[in-house]
Amino acid sequence: MFPPIPNPPVTPTPAKFGEGDLIRRSASNLRVPVEFKEPVAKLIDVSKCIGCKACQAACLEWNELHEEIGTFNGSYTNPPDLTENSLTLMRFTEWVNPETDTLEWLIRKDGCMHCADPGCLKACPAPGAIVQYSNGIVDFDHDRCIGCGYCVKGCPFNIPRISKADHKAYKCTLCSDRVAVGQGPACQKACPTQAIVFGTKTQMKEWAEGRIKDLKSRGYKNAGLYDPPGVGGTHVMYVLQHADQPSLYAGLPDNPRISRIVEAWKGVTKYVGLGVMGFAAIAGALHYLVAGANKVTPEDEANAEKLTEGGRS
Amino acid sequence: MSAPYDVESGDAVHPGHPVQVDRYTVGARINHWITAISLILLAISGLALFHPSLFFLTGLFGGGQMTRTIHPWIGVVLFFSFFGMFLRFWKANLWKSEDGTWMRRIRDVIAGHEEKLPELGKYNAGQKLVFWGMSFLIVVLIASGVVIWNAYFSTFTSIGQQRVALLVHSVAAVAIISLWIVHVYAAIWVKGTISAMTRGQVTGGWAWRHHRKWLRELVSRKTPGSSGTRGTPAE
Protein backbone atom coordinates (compact mmCIF):
# COMPACT_ATOMS: atom_id res chain seq x y z
CA MET A 1 0.00 0.00 0.00
CA PHE A 2 1.19 3.44 -0.84
CA PRO A 3 1.49 5.45 2.40
CA PRO A 4 -1.61 7.67 2.59
CA ILE A 5 -1.17 11.42 2.66
CA PRO A 6 -1.90 12.62 6.20
CA ASN A 7 -4.65 15.15 6.80
CA PRO A 8 -3.51 18.76 6.98
CA PRO A 9 -3.17 20.52 10.33
CA VAL A 10 -6.22 22.48 11.48
CA THR A 11 -4.17 25.67 11.82
CA PRO A 12 -3.77 27.64 8.60
CA THR A 13 -0.61 26.84 6.69
CA PRO A 14 0.98 28.97 3.96
CA ALA A 15 0.43 27.75 0.41
CA LYS A 16 3.22 25.53 -0.87
CA PHE A 17 3.21 27.20 -4.28
CA GLY A 18 1.65 30.21 -5.92
CA GLU A 19 2.10 33.05 -8.41
CA GLY A 20 5.86 33.08 -7.85
CA ASP A 21 6.17 29.53 -9.10
CA LEU A 22 4.77 30.04 -12.59
CA ILE A 23 6.98 28.70 -15.36
CA ARG A 24 4.55 29.38 -18.19
CA ARG A 25 1.76 31.90 -18.56
CA SER A 26 -0.42 31.99 -21.68
CA ALA A 27 0.18 34.87 -24.11
CA SER A 28 2.76 36.44 -21.79
CA ASN A 29 6.44 36.84 -21.33
CA LEU A 30 7.35 35.49 -17.95
CA ARG A 31 10.43 35.65 -15.80
CA VAL A 32 10.97 32.03 -14.86
CA PRO A 33 11.60 31.55 -11.12
CA VAL A 34 15.09 30.59 -10.03
CA GLU A 35 13.94 27.78 -7.82
CA PHE A 36 11.68 25.08 -9.15
CA LYS A 37 9.30 23.14 -6.96
CA GLU A 38 9.51 19.38 -6.83
CA PRO A 39 7.35 18.08 -9.70
CA VAL A 40 4.19 16.35 -8.53
CA ALA A 41 2.23 13.65 -10.29
CA LYS A 42 -0.93 11.64 -10.07
CA LEU A 43 -0.58 7.99 -10.96
CA ILE A 44 -3.67 6.17 -12.19
CA ASP A 45 -3.29 2.44 -12.11
CA VAL A 46 -5.90 1.18 -14.55
CA SER A 47 -5.35 -2.40 -13.45
CA LYS A 48 -6.52 -1.57 -9.92
CA CYS A 49 -9.59 0.41 -10.90
CA ILE A 50 -12.92 -1.18 -9.99
CA GLY A 51 -15.02 1.43 -11.77
CA CYS A 52 -16.83 2.68 -8.68
CA LYS A 53 -16.71 6.32 -9.82
CA ALA A 54 -15.86 7.54 -6.33
CA CYS A 55 -13.27 9.77 -8.02
CA GLN A 56 -15.92 11.28 -10.28
CA ALA A 57 -18.19 11.96 -7.31
CA ALA A 58 -15.33 13.36 -5.21
CA CYS A 59 -14.32 15.67 -8.05
CA LEU A 60 -17.83 17.08 -8.36
CA GLU A 61 -18.09 17.47 -4.62
CA TRP A 62 -14.74 19.14 -3.99
CA ASN A 63 -15.17 21.54 -6.88
CA GLU A 64 -18.82 22.21 -5.98
CA LEU A 65 -20.02 21.18 -9.40
CA HIS A 66 -23.25 19.47 -10.39
CA GLU A 67 -23.68 17.26 -13.38
CA GLU A 68 -27.02 17.23 -15.09
CA ILE A 69 -28.94 13.99 -14.98
CA GLY A 70 -28.46 12.51 -18.43
CA THR A 71 -29.75 9.51 -20.29
CA PHE A 72 -28.46 5.96 -20.42
CA ASN A 73 -26.86 5.22 -23.73
CA GLY A 74 -25.57 1.72 -23.48
CA SER A 75 -22.40 2.22 -21.50
CA TYR A 76 -21.33 2.61 -17.92
CA THR A 77 -19.50 5.72 -19.05
CA ASN A 78 -21.71 8.39 -17.61
CA PRO A 79 -21.98 11.21 -18.58
CA PRO A 80 -21.00 10.06 -22.07
CA ASP A 81 -18.23 12.65 -22.32
CA LEU A 82 -16.29 15.12 -20.22
CA THR A 83 -18.25 18.31 -19.58
CA GLU A 84 -17.56 21.67 -17.99
CA ASN A 85 -18.76 20.05 -14.74
CA SER A 86 -17.38 16.55 -15.07
CA LEU A 87 -13.69 17.35 -15.07
CA THR A 88 -12.92 13.68 -14.79
CA LEU A 89 -14.72 10.71 -16.30
CA MET A 90 -14.43 6.96 -16.04
CA ARG A 91 -14.31 5.61 -19.57
CA PHE A 92 -15.33 1.96 -19.80
CA THR A 93 -14.02 -0.24 -22.57
CA GLU A 94 -14.89 -3.92 -23.04
CA TRP A 95 -12.07 -5.62 -24.86
CA VAL A 96 -11.55 -9.25 -25.78
CA ASN A 97 -7.89 -10.04 -25.52
CA PRO A 98 -7.13 -12.05 -28.68
CA GLU A 99 -4.25 -13.88 -26.99
CA THR A 100 -6.22 -15.19 -24.03
CA ASP A 101 -9.72 -14.94 -25.51
CA THR A 102 -10.91 -13.36 -22.27
CA LEU A 103 -12.96 -10.25 -21.77
CA GLU A 104 -11.05 -7.42 -20.16
CA TRP A 105 -12.77 -4.44 -18.70
CA LEU A 106 -10.47 -1.51 -19.25
CA ILE A 107 -11.57 1.43 -17.15
CA ARG A 108 -9.63 4.60 -17.67
CA LYS A 109 -10.11 7.71 -15.60
CA ASP A 110 -10.00 10.45 -18.23
CA GLY A 111 -9.12 14.07 -17.48
CA CYS A 112 -6.39 16.63 -17.88
CA MET A 113 -2.95 15.03 -18.15
CA HIS A 114 -1.07 18.17 -17.02
CA CYS A 115 1.43 18.00 -19.88
CA ALA A 116 4.92 19.35 -19.37
CA ASP A 117 4.43 20.90 -22.83
CA PRO A 118 0.80 22.04 -22.63
CA GLY A 119 -0.94 22.56 -25.97
CA CYS A 120 -3.84 24.43 -24.34
CA LEU A 121 -1.50 27.02 -22.88
CA LYS A 122 0.35 27.51 -26.14
CA ALA A 123 -2.90 28.05 -28.05
CA CYS A 124 -4.45 30.43 -25.50
CA PRO A 125 -4.62 34.10 -26.64
CA ALA A 126 -5.63 35.58 -23.27
CA PRO A 127 -2.68 36.59 -21.08
CA GLY A 128 -2.59 34.55 -17.90
CA ALA A 129 -5.77 32.55 -18.56
CA ILE A 130 -3.69 29.36 -18.52
CA VAL A 131 -0.69 28.97 -16.26
CA GLN A 132 1.82 26.27 -15.49
CA TYR A 133 3.50 25.99 -12.10
CA SER A 134 7.00 24.68 -11.64
CA ASN A 135 5.56 21.62 -9.89
CA GLY A 136 3.91 20.70 -13.18
CA ILE A 137 0.29 21.70 -12.53
CA VAL A 138 -1.45 23.36 -15.48
CA ASP A 139 -4.29 25.55 -14.30
CA PHE A 140 -6.95 27.79 -15.83
CA ASP A 141 -7.67 31.26 -14.46
CA HIS A 142 -11.33 31.74 -15.23
CA ASP A 143 -11.29 35.47 -14.58
CA ARG A 144 -9.01 35.85 -17.58
CA CYS A 145 -10.56 33.22 -19.85
CA ILE A 146 -12.37 34.69 -22.85
CA GLY A 147 -14.10 31.51 -24.00
CA CYS A 148 -12.60 31.35 -27.48
CA GLY A 149 -12.04 27.60 -27.36
CA TYR A 150 -8.47 27.77 -28.64
CA CYS A 151 -7.35 25.55 -25.73
CA VAL A 152 -9.72 22.87 -26.98
CA LYS A 153 -7.91 22.89 -30.32
CA GLY A 154 -4.50 23.04 -28.69
CA CYS A 155 -5.03 20.06 -26.40
CA PRO A 156 -3.73 16.73 -27.77
CA PHE A 157 -6.02 14.82 -25.37
CA ASN A 158 -9.33 16.60 -26.08
CA ILE A 159 -9.86 17.66 -22.48
CA PRO A 160 -11.04 21.29 -22.01
CA ARG A 161 -14.74 21.98 -22.27
CA ILE A 162 -16.39 25.36 -22.72
CA SER A 163 -19.30 26.07 -20.41
CA LYS A 164 -22.55 26.96 -22.12
CA ALA A 165 -23.42 29.04 -19.05
CA ASP A 166 -20.45 31.37 -18.65
CA HIS A 167 -18.53 30.61 -21.87
CA LYS A 168 -15.32 29.77 -20.05
CA ALA A 169 -13.06 26.76 -20.34
CA TYR A 170 -12.98 24.11 -17.62
CA LYS A 171 -10.73 21.15 -16.93
CA CYS A 172 -9.13 19.27 -14.04
CA THR A 173 -6.94 21.53 -11.90
CA LEU A 174 -5.14 18.59 -10.29
CA CYS A 175 -6.82 20.12 -7.23
CA SER A 176 -4.16 22.83 -7.17
CA ASP A 177 -5.92 24.29 -4.13
CA ARG A 178 -5.54 21.02 -2.22
CA VAL A 179 -2.00 20.38 -3.41
CA ALA A 180 -1.05 23.87 -2.25
CA VAL A 181 -1.75 22.83 1.34
CA GLY A 182 -0.03 19.49 1.09
CA GLN A 183 -3.03 17.36 0.18
CA GLY A 184 -3.55 15.04 -2.76
CA PRO A 185 -6.33 15.64 -5.27
CA ALA A 186 -9.91 14.83 -4.24
CA CYS A 187 -10.12 11.87 -6.65
CA GLN A 188 -7.04 10.32 -5.10
CA LYS A 189 -8.41 10.82 -1.61
CA ALA A 190 -11.66 9.09 -2.53
CA CYS A 191 -10.21 6.13 -4.41
CA PRO A 192 -10.89 2.96 -2.34
CA THR A 193 -8.34 0.72 -4.08
CA GLN A 194 -5.40 3.09 -4.44
CA ALA A 195 -5.85 2.96 -8.19
CA ILE A 196 -5.08 6.67 -7.86
CA VAL A 197 -2.02 7.70 -5.90
CA PHE A 198 -0.38 11.09 -5.63
CA GLY A 199 3.10 12.29 -4.75
CA THR A 200 6.23 13.61 -6.37
CA LYS A 201 6.78 12.52 -9.94
CA THR A 202 9.86 10.54 -8.90
CA GLN A 203 7.89 8.71 -6.21
CA MET A 204 5.11 7.94 -8.67
CA LYS A 205 7.51 6.53 -11.22
CA GLU A 206 9.06 4.31 -8.57
CA TRP A 207 5.66 3.19 -7.39
CA ALA A 208 4.62 2.47 -10.95
CA GLU A 209 7.70 0.32 -11.44
CA GLY A 210 6.61 -1.98 -8.63
CA ARG A 211 3.11 -2.17 -10.05
CA ILE A 212 4.41 -2.98 -13.51
CA LYS A 213 6.62 -5.73 -12.14
CA ASP A 214 3.60 -7.20 -10.38
CA LEU A 215 1.48 -7.04 -13.53
CA LYS A 216 4.20 -8.66 -15.61
CA SER A 217 4.48 -11.48 -13.10
CA ARG A 218 0.78 -12.08 -13.60
CA GLY A 219 1.07 -12.45 -17.35
CA TYR A 220 0.60 -8.85 -18.57
CA LYS A 221 3.85 -8.87 -20.46
CA ASN A 222 3.22 -5.47 -22.06
CA ALA A 223 2.36 -3.71 -18.84
CA GLY A 224 3.98 -0.29 -18.60
CA LEU A 225 3.84 3.36 -17.65
CA TYR A 226 2.12 5.94 -19.81
CA ASP A 227 4.15 9.16 -19.54
CA PRO A 228 4.15 10.25 -23.20
CA PRO A 229 7.41 11.96 -24.25
CA GLY A 230 5.71 13.74 -27.17
CA VAL A 231 4.27 16.28 -24.73
CA GLY A 232 7.38 16.30 -22.55
CA GLY A 233 5.86 13.81 -20.15
CA THR A 234 2.73 14.34 -18.10
CA HIS A 235 1.95 14.98 -14.47
CA VAL A 236 -0.93 12.54 -14.64
CA MET A 237 0.38 9.11 -15.58
CA TYR A 238 -1.26 5.76 -16.16
CA VAL A 239 -0.16 2.25 -15.39
CA LEU A 240 -1.58 0.28 -18.31
CA GLN A 241 -1.83 -3.49 -18.62
CA HIS A 242 -1.29 -3.07 -22.35
CA ALA A 243 1.05 -0.12 -22.57
CA ASP A 244 1.96 -1.12 -26.12
CA GLN A 245 -1.58 -0.17 -27.23
CA PRO A 246 -2.75 2.91 -25.29
CA SER A 247 -5.55 3.47 -27.80
CA LEU A 248 -7.34 0.39 -26.44
CA TYR A 249 -8.19 2.51 -23.44
CA ALA A 250 -11.07 4.51 -24.95
CA GLY A 251 -8.82 6.14 -27.51
CA LEU A 252 -5.95 7.25 -25.32
CA PRO A 253 -3.50 8.70 -27.89
CA ASP A 254 -0.64 6.34 -28.70
CA ASN A 255 1.85 9.13 -29.20
CA PRO A 256 0.33 12.48 -28.27
CA ARG A 257 2.00 15.73 -29.19
CA ILE A 258 0.88 19.27 -29.93
CA SER A 259 -0.56 19.30 -33.44
CA ARG A 260 1.89 20.66 -36.01
CA ILE A 261 -0.93 22.80 -37.37
CA VAL A 262 -1.36 24.42 -33.97
CA GLU A 263 2.40 24.91 -33.73
CA ALA A 264 2.49 26.52 -37.18
CA TRP A 265 -0.44 28.77 -36.30
CA LYS A 266 1.03 29.88 -32.98
CA GLY A 267 4.59 29.98 -34.24
CA VAL A 268 5.62 30.97 -37.73
CA THR A 269 2.21 32.38 -38.73
CA LYS A 270 2.17 34.80 -35.83
CA TYR A 271 5.54 36.32 -36.62
CA VAL A 272 5.43 36.13 -40.41
CA GLY A 273 1.88 37.49 -40.29
CA LEU A 274 2.85 40.61 -38.36
CA GLY A 275 5.87 40.96 -40.61
CA VAL A 276 3.84 40.84 -43.81
CA MET A 277 1.32 43.41 -42.58
CA GLY A 278 4.08 45.64 -41.29
CA PHE A 279 5.93 45.34 -44.59
CA ALA A 280 2.82 46.36 -46.54
CA ALA A 281 2.40 49.47 -44.41
CA ILE A 282 6.07 50.44 -44.53
CA ALA A 283 6.32 49.79 -48.26
CA GLY A 284 3.39 52.15 -48.78
CA ALA A 285 4.92 54.89 -46.67
CA LEU A 286 8.30 54.55 -48.42
CA HIS A 287 6.69 54.59 -51.84
CA TYR A 288 4.90 57.80 -50.99
CA LEU A 289 8.13 59.39 -49.85
CA VAL A 290 10.05 58.29 -52.95
CA ALA A 291 7.46 58.53 -55.73
CA GLY A 292 5.27 61.27 -54.29
CA ALA A 293 1.55 61.66 -54.76
CA ASN A 294 0.00 60.71 -58.06
CA LYS A 295 -1.73 64.01 -58.90
CA VAL A 296 -4.19 64.95 -61.59
CA THR A 297 -2.63 67.65 -63.77
CA PRO A 298 -4.38 70.72 -65.21
CA GLU A 299 -3.83 69.19 -68.65
CA ASP A 300 -5.81 66.14 -67.54
CA GLU A 301 -8.69 68.41 -66.55
CA ALA A 302 -8.41 70.35 -69.81
CA ASN A 303 -8.41 67.12 -71.81
CA ALA A 304 -11.50 65.93 -69.97
CA GLU A 305 -13.25 69.21 -70.68
CA LYS A 306 -12.30 69.03 -74.34
CA LEU A 307 -13.60 65.48 -74.50
CA THR A 308 -16.93 66.29 -72.90
CA GLU A 309 -17.40 69.38 -75.05
CA GLY A 310 -16.72 67.30 -78.15
CA GLY A 311 -18.82 64.42 -76.99
CA ARG A 312 -21.90 66.59 -76.46
CA SER A 313 -23.61 67.56 -79.64
CA MET B 1 -17.03 52.69 -78.67
CA SER B 2 -20.41 51.17 -79.26
CA ALA B 3 -20.97 48.15 -77.02
CA PRO B 4 -21.24 48.93 -73.33
CA TYR B 5 -17.88 48.35 -71.74
CA ASP B 6 -18.00 48.54 -67.99
CA VAL B 7 -20.05 51.56 -67.19
CA GLU B 8 -22.20 50.87 -64.16
CA SER B 9 -25.65 52.20 -63.42
CA GLY B 10 -25.37 55.63 -61.88
CA ASP B 11 -22.13 56.49 -63.68
CA ALA B 12 -22.56 59.80 -65.49
CA VAL B 13 -20.51 62.71 -66.68
CA HIS B 14 -21.36 66.36 -66.02
CA PRO B 15 -19.57 68.82 -68.28
CA GLY B 16 -18.26 71.92 -66.59
CA HIS B 17 -15.15 73.40 -65.18
CA PRO B 18 -13.89 71.03 -64.01
CA VAL B 19 -15.86 68.18 -65.44
CA GLN B 20 -17.51 66.12 -62.71
CA VAL B 21 -18.06 62.39 -63.09
CA ASP B 22 -20.47 60.36 -60.98
CA ARG B 23 -18.62 57.20 -59.97
CA TYR B 24 -20.53 55.72 -57.04
CA THR B 25 -24.21 55.96 -56.16
CA VAL B 26 -25.35 56.71 -52.62
CA GLY B 27 -26.25 53.05 -52.21
CA ALA B 28 -22.84 51.89 -53.33
CA ARG B 29 -21.13 54.32 -50.96
CA ILE B 30 -23.22 53.28 -47.94
CA ASN B 31 -22.57 49.68 -48.87
CA HIS B 32 -18.85 50.39 -49.10
CA TRP B 33 -18.61 52.15 -45.77
CA ILE B 34 -20.53 49.48 -43.88
CA THR B 35 -18.08 46.98 -45.31
CA ALA B 36 -15.12 49.21 -44.53
CA ILE B 37 -16.10 49.81 -40.91
CA SER B 38 -16.79 46.10 -40.45
CA LEU B 39 -13.42 45.19 -41.91
CA ILE B 40 -11.56 47.61 -39.65
CA LEU B 41 -13.39 46.39 -36.55
CA LEU B 42 -12.73 42.80 -37.58
CA ALA B 43 -9.06 43.50 -38.14
CA ILE B 44 -8.66 45.15 -34.73
CA SER B 45 -10.59 42.50 -32.82
CA GLY B 46 -8.98 39.70 -34.79
CA LEU B 47 -5.45 41.00 -34.31
CA ALA B 48 -6.15 41.27 -30.59
CA LEU B 49 -6.63 37.51 -30.50
CA PHE B 50 -3.88 36.85 -33.03
CA HIS B 51 -0.83 38.12 -31.20
CA PRO B 52 -0.43 38.49 -27.43
CA SER B 53 1.21 41.89 -27.80
CA LEU B 54 -2.03 43.16 -29.37
CA PHE B 55 -4.37 41.64 -26.79
CA PHE B 56 -4.80 45.07 -25.21
CA LEU B 57 -6.96 45.98 -28.23
CA THR B 58 -9.73 43.88 -26.69
CA GLY B 59 -10.21 46.85 -24.36
CA LEU B 60 -11.82 48.71 -27.28
CA PHE B 61 -14.58 46.13 -27.41
CA GLY B 62 -15.19 45.80 -23.68
CA GLY B 63 -12.72 43.06 -22.84
CA GLY B 64 -11.71 39.63 -24.07
CA GLN B 65 -15.08 37.94 -23.69
CA MET B 66 -16.86 40.75 -25.56
CA THR B 67 -14.26 40.72 -28.32
CA ARG B 68 -14.63 36.98 -28.72
CA THR B 69 -18.43 37.34 -28.81
CA ILE B 70 -18.67 40.27 -31.16
CA HIS B 71 -15.98 39.43 -33.74
CA PRO B 72 -17.92 36.69 -35.53
CA TRP B 73 -21.09 38.78 -35.67
CA ILE B 74 -19.23 41.64 -37.32
CA GLY B 75 -17.95 39.01 -39.72
CA VAL B 76 -21.52 38.12 -40.64
CA VAL B 77 -22.30 41.81 -41.26
CA LEU B 78 -19.23 42.13 -43.44
CA PHE B 79 -20.03 39.01 -45.40
CA PHE B 80 -23.50 40.19 -46.40
CA SER B 81 -22.39 43.77 -46.91
CA PHE B 82 -19.55 42.67 -49.16
CA PHE B 83 -21.89 40.35 -51.00
CA GLY B 84 -23.94 43.43 -51.90
CA MET B 85 -20.81 45.12 -53.21
CA PHE B 86 -19.90 42.02 -55.14
CA LEU B 87 -23.24 42.09 -56.95
CA ARG B 88 -22.73 45.77 -57.77
CA PHE B 89 -19.14 45.62 -58.95
CA TRP B 90 -18.31 42.15 -60.29
CA LYS B 91 -19.11 42.90 -63.90
CA ALA B 92 -16.86 45.92 -64.15
CA ASN B 93 -14.08 43.87 -62.55
CA LEU B 94 -13.96 41.19 -65.23
CA TRP B 95 -10.46 40.78 -66.63
CA LYS B 96 -9.80 42.57 -69.95
CA SER B 97 -6.93 42.41 -72.39
CA GLU B 98 -5.49 45.80 -71.31
CA ASP B 99 -5.24 44.50 -67.74
CA GLY B 100 -2.49 42.13 -68.82
CA THR B 101 -0.61 45.01 -70.43
CA TRP B 102 -1.08 47.06 -67.26
CA MET B 103 0.33 44.23 -65.15
CA ARG B 104 3.35 43.85 -67.43
CA ARG B 105 4.05 47.57 -67.04
CA ILE B 106 3.71 47.50 -63.27
CA ARG B 107 6.97 49.45 -62.99
CA ASP B 108 5.37 52.40 -64.78
CA VAL B 109 2.34 52.06 -62.56
CA ILE B 110 4.46 52.28 -59.43
CA ALA B 111 6.48 55.16 -60.84
CA GLY B 112 3.27 57.01 -61.73
CA HIS B 113 4.00 57.11 -65.47
CA GLU B 114 0.39 56.79 -66.44
CA GLU B 115 1.04 58.06 -69.98
CA LYS B 116 2.86 54.79 -70.72
CA LEU B 117 -0.13 52.67 -69.73
CA PRO B 118 -3.07 51.58 -71.85
CA GLU B 119 -6.39 53.38 -71.53
CA LEU B 120 -8.43 51.71 -68.83
CA GLY B 121 -12.06 51.05 -68.06
CA LYS B 122 -13.70 51.75 -64.73
CA TYR B 123 -11.09 49.73 -62.86
CA ASN B 124 -7.43 49.02 -63.41
CA ALA B 125 -5.90 45.57 -62.95
CA GLY B 126 -4.71 46.44 -59.45
CA GLN B 127 -8.21 47.39 -58.38
CA LYS B 128 -9.55 44.24 -59.97
CA LEU B 129 -7.04 42.11 -58.11
CA VAL B 130 -8.02 43.79 -54.85
CA PHE B 131 -11.67 43.13 -55.68
CA TRP B 132 -11.22 39.46 -56.51
CA GLY B 133 -8.70 38.97 -53.73
CA MET B 134 -11.13 40.43 -51.20
CA SER B 135 -13.98 38.33 -52.62
CA PHE B 136 -11.97 35.13 -52.39
CA LEU B 137 -10.55 35.87 -48.94
CA ILE B 138 -13.92 36.84 -47.50
CA VAL B 139 -15.39 33.51 -48.59
CA VAL B 140 -12.40 31.72 -47.03
CA LEU B 141 -12.69 33.78 -43.85
CA ILE B 142 -16.44 33.29 -43.37
CA ALA B 143 -16.15 29.55 -44.06
CA SER B 144 -13.20 28.99 -41.73
CA GLY B 145 -14.66 31.46 -39.23
CA VAL B 146 -17.90 29.51 -38.87
CA VAL B 147 -15.90 26.35 -38.16
CA ILE B 148 -14.10 28.06 -35.25
CA TRP B 149 -17.18 29.94 -34.00
CA ASN B 150 -17.12 27.97 -30.81
CA ALA B 151 -20.33 29.24 -29.24
CA TYR B 152 -22.62 27.85 -31.94
CA PHE B 153 -20.73 25.57 -34.28
CA SER B 154 -18.17 23.70 -32.17
CA THR B 155 -20.01 20.39 -32.47
CA PHE B 156 -20.33 20.37 -36.26
CA THR B 157 -16.69 19.67 -37.03
CA SER B 158 -13.86 17.62 -35.59
CA ILE B 159 -11.10 19.23 -33.56
CA GLY B 160 -8.68 18.35 -36.37
CA GLN B 161 -10.80 20.31 -38.84
CA GLN B 162 -11.02 23.22 -36.41
CA ARG B 163 -7.24 23.35 -36.12
CA VAL B 164 -6.95 23.62 -39.90
CA ALA B 165 -9.64 26.29 -39.89
CA LEU B 166 -7.73 28.32 -37.29
CA LEU B 167 -4.59 28.28 -39.39
CA VAL B 168 -6.47 29.07 -42.60
CA HIS B 169 -8.41 31.85 -40.88
CA SER B 170 -5.30 33.56 -39.56
CA VAL B 171 -3.37 33.27 -42.84
CA ALA B 172 -6.37 34.60 -44.80
CA ALA B 173 -6.74 37.42 -42.27
CA VAL B 174 -3.11 38.44 -42.71
CA ALA B 175 -3.64 38.40 -46.47
CA ILE B 176 -6.81 40.48 -46.38
CA ILE B 177 -5.33 43.05 -43.99
CA SER B 178 -2.32 43.38 -46.29
CA LEU B 179 -4.65 43.74 -49.26
CA TRP B 180 -6.61 46.35 -47.34
CA ILE B 181 -3.40 48.30 -46.73
CA VAL B 182 -2.73 48.24 -50.48
CA HIS B 183 -6.30 49.38 -51.15
CA VAL B 184 -6.15 52.26 -48.68
CA TYR B 185 -2.68 53.29 -49.76
CA ALA B 186 -3.71 53.39 -53.41
CA ALA B 187 -6.62 55.66 -52.50
CA ILE B 188 -4.28 58.00 -50.62
CA TRP B 189 -1.52 57.93 -53.22
CA VAL B 190 -3.76 58.58 -56.22
CA LYS B 191 -5.06 62.05 -55.41
CA GLY B 192 -8.70 62.72 -56.10
CA THR B 193 -9.75 59.15 -55.49
CA ILE B 194 -11.27 59.40 -52.04
CA SER B 195 -14.01 61.79 -53.15
CA ALA B 196 -15.36 58.91 -55.25
CA MET B 197 -16.34 57.11 -52.06
CA THR B 198 -17.33 60.20 -50.07
CA ARG B 199 -19.22 62.52 -52.41
CA GLY B 200 -19.55 59.88 -55.11
CA GLN B 201 -17.82 62.03 -57.72
CA VAL B 202 -14.40 62.41 -59.26
CA THR B 203 -13.17 65.16 -61.54
CA GLY B 204 -13.00 64.66 -65.26
CA GLY B 205 -9.24 65.06 -65.11
CA TRP B 206 -9.01 62.18 -62.66
CA ALA B 207 -11.10 59.99 -64.92
CA TRP B 208 -9.08 61.10 -67.96
CA ARG B 209 -5.81 60.30 -66.23
CA HIS B 210 -6.68 56.98 -64.66
CA HIS B 211 -9.75 55.54 -66.40
CA ARG B 212 -9.86 57.15 -69.81
CA LYS B 213 -11.70 54.33 -71.54
CA TRP B 214 -14.45 54.59 -68.94
CA LEU B 215 -14.64 58.36 -69.38
CA ARG B 216 -14.76 58.09 -73.16
CA GLU B 217 -17.55 55.58 -72.95
CA LEU B 218 -19.50 57.75 -70.53
CA VAL B 219 -19.15 60.76 -72.80
CA SER B 220 -20.07 58.90 -75.96
CA ARG B 221 -22.93 57.11 -74.28
CA LYS B 222 -24.59 60.12 -72.68
CA THR B 223 -28.18 58.99 -72.91
CA PRO B 224 -31.15 61.28 -72.32
CA GLY B 225 -31.73 59.43 -69.05
CA SER B 226 -28.69 60.94 -67.39
CA SER B 227 -30.11 64.43 -67.20
CA GLY B 228 -29.59 66.49 -64.05
CA THR B 229 -26.98 69.21 -64.47
CA ARG B 230 -26.62 68.39 -68.10
CA GLY B 231 -28.00 71.65 -69.38
CA THR B 232 -25.44 74.19 -68.14
CA PRO B 233 -22.15 73.44 -69.79
CA ALA B 234 -20.75 76.82 -70.67
CA GLU B 235 -19.61 78.32 -67.44
Our CA-based measurement puts residue A61 at a distance from the nearest CA of chain B, in whole angstroms, of 27
pLDDT, position A80? 94
Q: Which residues have C-beta within 8 Å of that of residue A239, sequence separation ≥ 6?
A: A43, A44, A45, A46, A47, A48, A208, A211, A212, A215, A223, A224, A225, A226
Q: Which residues have C-beta within 8 Å of that of residue B100, sequence separation ≥ 6?
A: B125
- Give CA angle at B10 (B6, B16), nearest 5°: 100
Which residues in chain B are contacts of A146 at CB distance < 8 A?
A: 49, 58, 63-65, 67-68
In terms of pLDDT, which residue wins out, A309 or A25?
A25
From the list B18, B69, B190, which residue is nearest A305 (CB)? Answer: B18
Choose from A18-22, A32-36, A62-66 the range with maximum mean pLDDT. A62-66
Give CA–CA dist A234/B232, Å, rounded: 83
Q: Nearest chain A Cα to B16, which residue?
A: A305
Q: CA end-to-end span of chain B, whole Å?
A: 28
- Which of B53, B114, B189 to substitute to test the interface with A, most A CBs within 10 Å? B189
Cβ distance A284 to B58 less than 8 Å, yes or no, reads: no
Cβ distance A259 to B219 less than 8 Å, yes or no, reads: no
Catalytic residues of B: 183
- Which of B155, B156, B161, B174 to substitute to test the interface with A, most A CBs within 10 Å? B174
The predicted-structure confidence for A102-161, as pLDDT tens digits, reads as follows 999 999 999 999 999 999 999 999 999 999 999 999 999 999 999 999 999 999 999 999
Across the A:B interface, residue pairs with CB atoms under 8 Å apart total 172
Our CA-based measurement puts residue A23 at a distance from the nearest CA of chain B, in whole angstroms, of 17
- Which of A148, A159, A260, A266 to substitute to test the interface with B, most B CBs within 10 Å? A148
Give CA–CA dist A305/A26, Å, rounded: 63
From the list B15, B69, B181, which residue is nearest A308 (CB)? Answer: B15
In terms of pLDDT, which residue wins out, A167 or A7?
A167
The predicted-structure confidence for B167-198, as pLDDT tens digits, reads as follows 999 999 999 999 999 999 999 999 999 999 99
Cβ distance B55 to A305 less than 8 Å, yes or no, reads: no
Given CB atoms, is B153 within the 8 Å cutoff of chain A? no
Cβ distance A309 to B170 less than 8 Å, yes or no, reads: no
Nearest to B60 by CA among B51, B49, B75: B49
Our CA-based measurement puts residue B165 at a distance from the nearest CA of chain A, in whole angstroms, of 10
Q: Is the pLDDT of residue A274 over 60?
A: yes
Q: What is the pTM of this model?
A: 0.92
pLDDT, position A9? 84
Cβ distance B17 to A291 less than 8 Å, yes or no, reads: no
Evaluated on CA atoms A52, A56, A62, A67, the torsion sign reads negative
From the list B160, B164, B207, which residue is nearest A304 (CB)? Answer: B207
Cβ distance B68 to A146 less than 8 Å, yes or no, reads: yes
Q: At what angle do helices A298-311 and B212-221 cross, to 10 degrees?
A: 30
Predicted complex ipTM exceeds 0.90: yes
> Which residue type does A306 have?
K
Exposure string for A152-186, b = 16+ CB within 10 A, e = fewer: bbbbbbebbbbeeeebbbbbbbbbbebbbeebbbb
Our CA-based measurement puts residue B27 at a distance from the nearest CA of chain A, in whole angstroms, of 26
Q: pLDDT averaged over chain A?
A: 95
The predicted-structure confidence for B83-127, as pLDDT tens digits, reads as follows 999 999 999 999 999 999 999 999 999 998 988 999 999 999 999
